[in-house]
Amino acid sequence: MNIKITPDAAVEMYRTMKLIRRFEEWVTVLVEADEIAGVTHESVGQEAVPVGVCSALRDDDVMTSTHRGHGHIIAKGGAVPYMFSELMGRESGYNKGRGGSMHIADVSLGIYGANGIVTAGMPMACGAAFVFKSRGEDRVAVSFFGDGGVNHGLFHEAMNLAAIWELPAVFICENNQYAITTPIESVVKVPIHTRADSYGMSGESVDGMDVEAVYTATRRAVERARDGGGPSFIECQTYRYVGHYTAERHMKLNYRSEEEIELWRQRDAIEGWAGRLIGQGIWTEDERATVDAAVERELDEAIAIARQAPWPETGSYLDYVYAREYPGFPARGSDL
């Protein structure tokens, strides 16, 4: 299969990567300013993975995301005003302020949720894929997870389920080389993508700093899944330039060197892609500047909207637990 990216699509890939990068940089600023609470995991450096993957999906395909999920959500069509509103805990956020950074979801966009538990989305993607398959729909379910996830029991159980039932699922391992402070090579003995073999599933490793490589591999996997060819596994070699979570800026962890970070920065996916488009004459510096400015405006406006957005009503804290409620449930914390 010869997979071509049209100039428009190429520019859109750039725009989305840039939007993710700048979104994440804003998250850091807003966390530091106490405008966003909780724990936030930025994906700065990894943008080519969600963009490459989601560019190969249709709107009606679904995906599960992780604690480092902002990029996945933007790439799957998430709107940044609703994301910032969620991160600021507002009623107008994607999850009505109930979820926050680690749980953003929009089921109507096929986003079955970021997730705070490593690999928790993998079996869910299998379940969704099973439904598509059994209804005869050619939709695909994608699951993102990190390198740290590949040692979890759920990883292995989900991979096997997808393989034995030949599910239209695509597993995307974002290998950013670390699980918090733990280097992947200290906890895995084989190249990660080779694990797919043991489940009878196609597996490959791609340069996760190259959006085209990620896109091409995902397109192939998605086509295979749509055609009834079963699941695939793609390991994307990537890197986060920033800490595991925002708070790491203020912690003295030394699990990696500045030199290592710098080496990866030199392979930056966004700069690399812009350079290629301009080098090939598809694009000009001016056009790039226009896109960049539009991204800044979009984020400025989204943050302004979120800042004005209303907070949830305190009295609504018992809402949304059950689809059907019974008197006295869920129990309040006091009988007064």
Partner 1 sequence: MRRLRYLQAMNEAYHQEMERDEEIFILGEDIRGNLRGETYGLLDRFGPNRVLDTPISEAAFVGFGTGAAMAGMRPIVQFQIATLIYLAFDQLVNNAAKMRLMMGGQVNIPVTYTVMATGARNGLAGQHADNPYPFFLHAGIKTICPSNAYDAKGLLISAIRENDPVGYFAPAGCLSQRGEVPEAPYAIPLGQGQIKREGTDVTVIAVGQMVGEALKVAESMSSEGISVQVWDPRTLLPLDKEGVCSAVAKTGRAVIYDDANRTCGFAAELSSLLVERVYDELVSPIKRVTRADVPIAFSAPLEQAALPSQVGLANAIRSICG
Ligand X SMILES: Cc1ncc(C[n+]2csc(CCOP(=O)(O)OP(=O)(O)O)c2C)c(N)n1
* Residue ranges in contact with ligand X by CB under 6 A: 67-68, 116-118, 146-149, 152, 176, 178-180, 244
Instruction: For residue 326, count other CB atoms closer than 10 A to its CB.
Output: 7
Question: Per CB under 8 A, does 117 bind partner 1?
Answer: yes
The enclosing H or E element of 164 equals: helix 153-164
Axis-axis angle for helices 285-308, 80-87 (nearest 10): 40
Question: Per CB under 8 A, does 279 bind partner 1?
Answer: no
Q: Which is nearer to ligand X, 214 or 225 (CB)?
A: 214
Strands 182-183 and 178-179 turn out to be antiparallel
- For residues 235 and 190, the answer to whether their CB atoms sit within 8 Å is no
d(CA 231, CA 203): 9
In this chain, which residue has its C-beta nearest to Mg ion?
Answer: 146
Q: Which residues, listed in sequence order, are joined to residue 182 by a DSSP beta bridge?
A: 179
Question: Per CB under 8 A, does 2 bind partner 1?
Answer: no
Question: Per CB under 8 A, does 316 bind partner 1?
Answer: yes
Residue 302 C-beta: closest distance to partner 1, Å: 18
Q: Which is nearer to Mg ion, 177 or 194 (CB)?
A: 177
Q: Which x/- pattern over 189-228 shows residues binding partner 1 (rule: CB under 8 A)?
A: ----------------------------------------
Site stretch for partner 1 (CB under 8 A), options 129-137, 203-211, 285-293, 307-315:
307-315
Residue 320 C-beta: closest distance to partner 1, Å: 8
Question: Per CB under 8 A, does 89 bind partner 1?
Answer: yes
Q: Which is nearer to Mg ion, 263 or 289 (CB)?
A: 263
Closest CA to 12 of 215, 240, 206: 215
- For residues 246 and 31, the answer to whether their CB atoms sit within 8 Å is yes
Within 13 A of 128's CA, how many CA atoms are on the CB side?
Answer: 22
Pick from 15, 28, 35, 152: which binds partner 1 (CB under 8 A)?
152
d(CA 277, CA 11): 8
Question: Per CB under 8 A, does 151 bind partner 1?
Answer: yes
How buried is residue 249: exposed, middle or buried, by Cβ count under 10 Å (0-12/13-18/19+)?
exposed
Residue 68's binding partner out of partner 1, Mg ion, ligand X, none, with CB under 5 to 8 Å set by partner kind: ligand X
Question: Per CB under 8 A, does 1 bind partner 1?
Answer: no
d(CA 62, CA 233): 16
- For residues 80 and 29, the answer to whether their CB atoms sit within 8 Å is no
Pick from 102, 111, 217, 242: which binds partner 1 (CB under 8 A)?
102
DSSP secondary structure code for residue 151 in this structure:
G
Residues that bind partner 1 (CB under 8 A): 36-39, 86, 89-91, 95, 97-103, 115-119, 148-149, 151-153, 179-182, 186-188, 251, 253, 255, 311-318, 321, 329-336
